[in-house]
Amino acid sequence: MNQIRVRSADLVAPAVGVVYILLWWLGEAGRLGNGAYGPVVAMLAFLLFGIVIGVSKKWPAVALVLMGATIGLQLLIEGARFISSSWPAYLPLLYAVFNVSAFGRRAVHWISLPVSAVYAAVVAALLTVRTFGRDGWPVLYSLQSARQFQSGGGLDIVGTFAAVCAVAVGLAAGAWCAGLAMRRANQVAAARRQAQALQQDLDVVESELVVLSERERLAQDVHDVMAHSLAVIAAQADGTRMLDSALSPDAEQALTTIADTARDGLVELRRLLDASPSLELTQRPGLAGLPALVERVRGAGLAVDYVELGDAGPLTPVQESSVYRIVQESLTNAVRHSRAEGSARVTLDWRGPGLAVLIATPATDADAIEPGRGIRGMQDRARLAGGWLTVGIDDDAFIVNAFVPVEAARFTEVVA
């Protein structure tokens, strides 16, 4: 329905232009051949002004230029000028001025005001100056001025031109102001439609946020209750199996089954909470992404030293992802809480039975070591990787110390 209304409105100006041409062609049909240049030249101004009206809404700049060209043609060619019976043909041009002002681009809109005033002044000259009339007569004259002219008294050309020019310029300015009012009304309507669309989007987003917030709350509750326990079970089973060499094969197998089952349960739990399919291993961040991470943190204004000691050993994708997230979390907290000209140091030490990670970042206060969600998350990641993580403050530095064994047992895939 709206499209039909818009298309119908776009057809108004062309329809007016066609009607303009037809009416004036019919109205002046008996006089078109009387001019020195024939009916074609006499009809040319009507045709061009009709085109001006027809394209004034869709192509306002073209209409403005074509209007001036047609008026200039009338100045140069006598046969194209209007006579005493056809001069009202100028009045429908006010509709074209209205369209140019209402629908033209910003530059065209503002230029059209002085240009329309100049056009109106030229038209006033065409109507009042005897040079542009037929047989030395101006197009506009009164009965009194005709008698005065016949008696040899002449005509008050200046006064007549001033009066007609004032009226013509006033009409052009009025049409332009009406177009300005329409332009402002269209802008207000567009802004109101945009505001309504934004409000609808905000309502949708708000409802989604409510759902997501409730889901996040439930997910956090389930995570707090189950995930931590499953991670501890897996870590304890692995620790017991690795530390007690006197275990029987059946006991070692049972501990392995317990650890694997706990990790499988944690995988399914996190997949359920995240409501996302399992990720490809290539999508996981690994140790190869640490240099880029360090560069991004440096770009945020924190001076970071990155040191890697020893020869890198084999880690599983889950272990690499855990180390990456631990470093990322530590540096992110450092950027968030660091003072001006702060610095941090990341050390990866492979000179042992596994990978030792030491991250020293600026310490803000003693509350920084409170076991919040971030620290618990890093500790959980370290345990899932088969290692451990501790935090503390030493010499105004916040120390994160983690260890991941190189001799990785079978780690079930966990969504990082």
Instruction: Sketch the domain layout of the chain as residue ranges.
Output: 2-199, 207-281, 283-405
Mean pLDDT of 263-288: 62
Question: 146 near 89, Cβ under 8 Å?
Answer: no
Residue (of 33, 67, 62) closest to 50 by Cα position: 67
Asked whether residue 59 carries a pLDDT value surpassing 90, the answer given is yes
**Top-confidence residue, 102 or 257:** 102
pLDDT value of position 121 = 92
CB atoms within 10 A of CB 369: 15
How would CATH label the architecture of 283-405? 2-Layer Sandwich (3.30)
Residue matched to tokens 């409802």: 207
3-state SS, one letter per residue, for 240-300: HHHHCCCCCHHHHHHHHHHHHHHHHHHHHHHHHHHCCCCCCHHHCCCHHHHHHHHHHHHHC
Please provide the average confidence, as pLDDT, over all residues in the chain: 78
Band of residue 250 on the pLDDT scale cut at 50, 70, 90: confident
Band of residue 383 on the pLDDT scale cut at 50, 70, 90: confident
d(CA 369, CA 96): 74
**Top-confidence residue, 6 or 275:** 6
Question: 384 near 411, Cβ under 8 Å?
Answer: yes
Band of residue 372 on the pLDDT scale cut at 50, 70, 90: low
pLDDT in tens, 65-87: 999 999 999 888 887 888 877 88
Band of residue 35 on the pLDDT scale cut at 50, 70, 90: low
pLDDT value of position 177 = 95
pLDDT cut 70: percent of the chain above it:
76
**Top-confidence residue, 143 or 103:** 103
d(CA 100, CA 108): 7
Asked whether residue 192 carries a pLDDT value surpassing 80, the answer given is yes
pLDDT value of position 40 = 74
pLDDT value of position 409 = 39
Whether pTM > 0.75 for this model: the answer is: no
Band of residue 53 on the pLDDT scale cut at 50, 70, 90: very high
Asked whether residue 97 carries a pLDDT value surpassing 90, the answer given is yes
pLDDT in tens, 111-162: 999 999 999 999 998 888 877 776 666 777 654 455 555 554 455 677 778 8
**Top-confidence residue, 216 or 55:** 55
Band of residue 355 on the pLDDT scale cut at 50, 70, 90: very high
